[in-house]
Amino acid sequence: MSPELRAVILAGGSGTRLWPLSREYHPKQFMGLMGDRSLFQETLARVQGMPDMGAPVIVASDTHRFLVVDQARDANTATPTVILEPEGRNTAPALALAALSLTGDGGDPVMLAMPADHLIRDAAAFRRAAAAGARLAEKGLLVTFGVVPKSPETGYGYILKGKKLSGGCPGFAVESFVEKPDAATARGYLKSGRYFWNSGIFMMRASVWLEQLARHRPDIEKACRRAFEAGQADDHFFRPNAEIFRSCPSDSIDYAVMEKATSDANGLCAVIPLDAGWSDVGAWSAVWEEGEHDAGGNLVQGDAYLQGVTDSLIVARSRLVGAVGLKDIIVVETADAILVAARERVQEVREIVKRLRDEGRQEHIVQRRVHRPWGWYEVLDRGEGFQVKRITVNPRQALSLQRHRRRAEHWVVVRGEARVHKDGETFVLKQNQSAYVPQGTRHRLSNDGDEPLEIIEVQSGDYLGEDDIERFEDDYNRHLEPTTEG
């Protein structure tokens, strides 16, 4: 009988090296970098249809909770368990929360733990490798997947394989995990044929993970267990106790357990070769490598005109981009920021993000288009004492009943039909009609129709920040939280 399988999708992270498309509030895993579906949705699709696979468990940041639910629904995924981390603590605590959730009712499934932001071209090959890994994990082994290397990469960790496993299994014992090498060492690894790239994908029984974590990092296991036991369910989500979880040390699956377990005399760790077109899409150079190139070796996304450009990536998201005489260059254009970088130096993009954060700017946090559970808004213009937004409310959705203490709002409907609640009065606004919401007025905007509602909102006041929202009712339970959202 095959073991029960549960995919654990680790959906945290901010993807700083893919700025300016990837931002803290909408990071790379939720973006369609290589097509219409996001990397997160591709990850969900990869495990759908696997035999004995139950509904996924998703561990994500509280900030991204509605992106997770919306994209999982759009991907036709079975209703997932969504565990919200109040603060990132790396992958070992995230996996511990998932394991505690899966063993809470007496079950002990095999977990297939994987990041939400990786690209795997050959889903069938991935599923075959996962099936082989599940047979080993069922027996109590800690299983990882080693990517068959194609080049001497210095940006990945490596796995040194040991003896081949018996019984016709395609796997090997893990001799050791190896840190990211320099170029000469990486060439030696490739030539030897004994090394894999470390994919960051793992399989093990939920109970085995908790046992090994308690053995090697009891401080993490204890903190996660306490935070989980003191947590609470909230609609679609489970929230571990925030104060306790923030006290948990930060560590990765590799460092916390896998590297230590390789030295165990009983040989707990196994590696399954993975030759499935894997990439962690960790930088713009990886996006260029994975895309379809034109005759000049360029990958072009969006509205771009090129003249004498070779081996470059040009991404235009909001306007026309023209490029002349470039070679090995990355150009990424968004509505509020543009990145221009030499292709061999794209790892340094994170340093720009760090400077933005240190200087208190906002361009690393949000784009001009900001997604909300009810739809999205985009800032069109702002100045001293005013701000103009384009707001789209999805069908059958509503903003919270709220008020603002320091700003007034003017609404003009440009498409659809709006139901407006204002200080106890309810009325309908149709296309080209408008309403004024004075400062301090309780109000709510709803879309009762089957088509998106679009309005132009003009805000005026001495403070226009998103934290000037006092909620009274909300369809998404956000009135229970400190607010930074519309």
Shared domain check, 304 and 423: no
Shared domain check, 307 and 248: no
pLDDT at 485 over 90: no
**What are the CA-CA distances from residue 367 to residues 97, 330, 378, 457 (Å)?**
31, 19, 8, 18
Of all residues in the chain, what percent carry a pLDDT higher than 90? 80
Cis peptide before 86 (omega within 30 of 0): no
pLDDT category, 105, cuts 50, 70, 90? confident
Which of 264, 279, 294 is the last residue in one of the domains?
279
Rounded distance, CA 237 to CA 12, Å? 15
Shared domain check, 199 and 125: yes
Angle 293-34-132 from CA coordinates, rounded to 5°: 110
Rounded distance, CA 116 to CA 280, Å? 10
State mean pLDDT over 155-177. 90
Task: Indicate the pairing of strand 269-274 with strand 142-147.
Answer: parallel
Rounded distance, CA 466 to CA 297, Å? 43
289 assigned to some structural domain = yes
pLDDT at 2 over 70: no
CATH of the domain at 55: 3.90.550.10
pLDDT at 481: 47
363 assigned to some structural domain = no
CATH of the domain at 455: 2.60.120.10
Which of 279, 301, 322 is the last residue in one of the domains?
279
pLDDT at 375 over 70: yes
pLDDT digit string, tens, across residues 237-252: 999 999 999 999 999 9
- Decide if 331 contacts 317 (C-beta within 8 A): no
Residue 406: left if φ>0, alpha if ψ -120 to 50, beta else—which one? alpha
pLDDT category, 484, cuts 50, 70, 90? very low
**What are the CA-CA distances from residue 143 to residues 67, 94, 226, 270, 271 (Å)?**
30, 17, 27, 5, 6
Taking each helix axis as running N to C, give the angle between helix 91-103 and helix 218-229, from 0 to 180 degrees, rounded to the nearest 10: 50
pLDDT at 172 over 80: yes
CA dihedral 432, 438, 441, 443 (to 10 degrees): 10
State mean pLDDT over 155-183. 90
Shared domain check, 125 and 28: yes
State mean pLDDT over 144-162. 92
pLDDT digit string, tens, across residues 266-290: 668 999 999 999 999 999 999 999 9
pTM score? 0.88
Shared domain check, 151 and 108: yes
Token output for 386: 């005013």
Q: In the beta sheet, which residues pair with residue 205?
A: 110
192 assigned to some structural domain = yes
- Give the list of residues 6+ apart from residue 422 with CB closer than 8 angstroms, or none: 435, 437, 441, 442, 443
Mean pLDDT of all residues belonging to the chain: 92
pLDDT at 3 over 80: no
pLDDT at 370: 85
Shared domain check, 396 and 307: no
DSSP state of 254: I
Shared domain check, 195 and 102: yes
pLDDT at 186: 93
362 assigned to some structural domain = no
468 assigned to some structural domain = yes
pLDDT digit string, tens, across residues 303-333: 999 999 999 999 999 999 999 999 999 999 9
Shared domain check, 130 and 265: yes
485 assigned to some structural domain = no
Which of 332, 356, 380 is the last residue in one of the domains?
356
Shared domain check, 55 and 42: yes
Rounded distance, CA 7 to CA 301, Å? 32
State the total domains in the chain. Answer: 3
Rounded distance, CA 175 to CA 472, Å? 58
Using DSSP's 3-state secondary structure scheme, residue 259 falls into helix
pLDDT at 480 over 50: no
Shared domain check, 191 and 268: yes
pLDDT digit string, tens, across residues 419-459: 999 998 999 999 999 999 999 999 999 999 999 999 999 99
Shared domain check, 305 and 263: no
The whole domain housing 423 covers: 369-480
Tell me how crowded residue 209 is: count the other CB atoms within 10 A of its CB. 28
pLDDT at 265 over 60: no
Shared domain check, 228 and 79: yes
pLDDT at 264: 61
340 assigned to some structural domain = yes
Alpha carbon 80 to its chain centroid, in Å, reads: 15
- Give the list of residues 6+ apart from residue 220 with CB closer than 8 angstroms, or none: 92, 93, 96, 213, 248, 249, 251, 256
pLDDT at 479: 58
- Give the list of residues 6+ apart from residue 323 with CB closer than 8 angstroms, or none: 304, 305, 306, 307, 309, 312, 314, 329, 331
pLDDT digit string, tens, across residues 213-238: 999 999 999 999 999 999 999 877 99
Least confident range of 65-69, 116-120, 439-443:
65-69
CA Rg value for the chain? 25
